[in-house]
Amino acid sequence: MGSDLRAPKVGVAAFVVREKSVLIGKRLSSTGNSTYALPGGHLEFGETWEECATREVKEETGLDVKKIEFVTVTNNILKSETTPKHYVTIFMRCVLADPQQIPQNLEPDKCAGWEWYEWENLPKPLFQPLETLFESGFTPFT
């Protein structure tokens, strides 16, 4: 007890919703490499979930978002990674502050590019936490 230096991390992922679609990108990061996922990142010390979602969406896509709200949380033990990863992931939902704004790929070392996909027509393979959520019947649309 207490000898395991590994600890679960907190991830925040954002459903940026536009009509029936969500913004998805192919990951180039080591965790979940080549799988499709939402914009998002690690919760920083002192941040609210809303602040983290807003910051990560801006850093990764250039988009400004509003109406940021909590939707669900998942516990993800990623065993297929080179070193096992454990994330508690907070899923937030938001909409574009300016519906005309176009996503940019601002971290091309981490993402192949951002595209809008309808929820019933998501690209494959999804990042495992998103796949699990999708398979559970969850929808980010109310």
To Mg ion, the closest distance from the beta carbon of 59 in angstroms equals 5
37 binds ligand 8DG (CB under 6 A): yes
d(CA 38, CA 22): 8
Residue 13 contact partner, candidates ligand 8DG, Mg ion, none, CB within 5 to 8 A by sort of partner: ligand 8DG
Amino acid found at 77: I
d(CA 135, CA 104): 29
Contacts with ligand 8DG by CB under 6 A: the residue count is 18
In this structure, the dihedral spanned by the alpha carbons of residues 83, 136, 73 and 8, taken in order and rounded to 10 degrees, is: -20
To ligand 8DG, the closest distance from the beta carbon of 1 in angstroms equals 27
Question: For 17, left (φ over 0), alpha (ψ -120 to 50), or beta?
Answer: beta
Copy the structure tokens of residue 4: 């395991």
Q: Which of 21, 28, 31, 117 binds ligand 8DG (CB under 6 A)?
A: 31
To Mg ion, the closest distance from the beta carbon of 2 in angstroms equals 31
- Give the residue with the Cβ less far from Mg ion, 41 or 140: 41
Q: Give residues in contact with Mg ion (CB under 5 A).
A: 41, 56
To ligand 8DG, the closest distance from the beta carbon of 55 in angstroms equals 9
Q: Strand runs (DSSP E) across the chain, as ranges?
A: 9-18, 21-27, 36-37, 40-42, 65-78, 85-96, 111-118
- 61-120: contacts with ligand 8DG (CB under 6 A): 76, 87, 89, 110
> Where does this chain bind ligand 8DG (CB under 6 A)?
11, 13, 29, 31, 37-42, 56, 76, 87, 89, 110, 127, 129-130
